[in-house]
A and B are shown apart, each in its own frame.
Chain A
Amino acid sequence: MDRKMSPETRSALEKLADWFRARSIWMLHYCTGCGAVELPPSMTSRFDMERFGIGPMATPRQADVLLITGYLATKTLRRVIYTYEQMQTPKYVIGFGSCTINGGIYYDSYNVITRLDLYLPVDIYIAGCMPRPEAILTAFNKLREMIEKGEANGWKRYEENKEWYRANQLKALNGEVYVTR
């Protein structure tokens, strides 16, 4: 799959919208991994994410950013895919901690996925096990820059390469993505 971002041309209206999107990032955290424990300090008094307009949201419909905070078992991967597909575009994904990059300490586990990027279009990774709040804030500011420049277009990548992602998902999920159980 082509990972290069095409130098696309945005209309003036899109640019304005991206300016707003960069300054108001609502996140949905998928907190099954241990990394989530660093989020409360980043949101509360000491590090205060809200000064950048970043805030937690309760449901996928309202959120802009999906935070995957660590390892994903294949069972949770299914739910993450549902969640991601419920979100409204433009949407971004942040892979949080080494587990999302290469499996981290679960690199040889039998039911944990090792590379999140194979299944969902990750816009930005935060390395570390687990990343400190400073790292989280740096990542969010980087994401903010990317959104403003129009480079954070993982959601477009997902739509364009749907088959590729779907094939990977099916491989990890034993042949079906949507189950009603």
Chain B
Amino acid sequence: MKILESAAVIITGIVFGLFLLGVQRKLVARVQRRYGPPIWQQFIDVAKLFSKSSISHGFVFDMGVMMALGGTIATLLFVPIGKLQVLSMSGDFIVVVYLMAVASLGMAMSAVNSGNPNASIGVMRALTQMFGYELPYLMVMMGMMFAYRTSSILGMAQVQQGGILNWNLFRVPIGAIVVFISMFGISGKKPFDTPIAPAEIASGPMVEYSGKFLGSLTLMHALVIFVDISIFVNVFLGGASNYWFFLLKVLAVFSLMVLISSVIPRFRVEQVVTFSWKWPLFFAVIQSVILVAMGVR
């Protein structure tokens, strides 16, 4: 039973994640008044990547890719999709945060092992900007865990039952905005895409990946986006009782993110940290003080 459920969750993550990336390309194209690629373009791209020859740069290079993909899949198993959740325990939010770090670490290791200077610059930028957005993100989340006395994602989703006004989006509005901004960083969306800046550092960490390695990393990126938004939906939008309804919410949040990120330019790398530690962190502190002092509602 568990195996079937895991398979269902992983397939959902991959298929829906790739679908989201396709939606992203279509939406960006429409914003730029283009026709855009078909919505299933991303599936074709991944299939093509797996059909190409690929070059490896050593053992750590291969292992890092596996670690990145595996770490993300492990994260995915902790995320409740509607009623479907494979692994759950009382502290699973904290586990998820750590597992996500394993994934980025794997990617960083593998990229640096390729020996390309652009990759090292990209990894350095990615780690620098992680300092920026992770801090406000965790601060809000910790405040909420304290206020609700639970650190499980499902627990957070359950306390919001009973009507839209019970959603944390309305109970913890400042925190919701801070987390929403940090999500742009986690999923590498526009103002926070300094690590993969194609025109400056030739797509950064991805510079030496080819064929099936690039395909695996595309899958990983799709999964990261899916996990990231699923957590937001569970924690702030009340989760969902129904599988399809959950995916709909994820799609809505993602479309909003894409629309915002398609019209803003990229930060320089030090601007990311300055910005994140000025505004999101400021509001995160205010929100946590409110949460700790007064509780929720």
Contacts and interface: CB of A to CB of B under 8 A. Distances in A.
A102 to B, nearest CB: 32
A20 interface: yes
Q: Which of B37, B44, B54 has the most CB of A within 10 A?
A: B37
Contacts of A57: 198, 203
A33 B89 CA distance: 60
Interface string B203-226: 100111111001000000000000
Interface of A: 17, 20-21, 23-24, 44-45, 48, 50-53, 56-59, 61-62, 64, 88-90
18 contacts: A20-B51, A21-B48, A21-B52, A23-B41, A24-B44, A45-B33, A48-B36, A51-B38, A53-B38, A58-B203, A59-B203, A59-B207, A59-B208, A61-B214, A62-B206, A62-B214, A88-B211, A89-B52
Nearest to A61: B210
A23 B44 contact: yes
A94 B158 CA distance: 57
Given A23-B41, A50-B36, 10 more contacts: A21-B52, A24-B44, A48-B36, A51-B36, A53-B44, A57-B203, A61-B208, A62-B206, A64-B52, A89-B52
B55 interface: yes
Contacts of A58: 198-199, 202-203, 206-207
B210 A88 contact: yes
B29 interface: yes
A54 to B, nearest CB: 9
Given A20-B48, A53-B45, A88-B53, A61 B207 contact: yes
A51 B203 contact: no
Contacts of A51: 29, 34-38
Contacts of B209: 61-62
Contacts of B161: none
B25 interface: yes
Contacts of B48: 17, 20-21, 23-24, 64
Nearest to B29: A50
B32 interface: yes
Contacts of A89: 52-53
A20 B43 CA distance: 9
A23 B41 CA distance: 8
Contacts of A50: 25, 29, 34, 36-37
B37 A53 contact: yes
Contact of A24 (B33, B45, B199): B45
A17 to B, nearest CB: 4
A24 B210 contact: no
A48 B176 CA distance: 37
B44 A20 contact: yes
B165 interface: no
B210 A62 contact: yes
Given A20-B47, A21-B51, A58-B202, A45 B34 contact: yes
A2 to B, nearest CB: 24
Interface string B43-85: 0110110011111000000000000000000000000000000
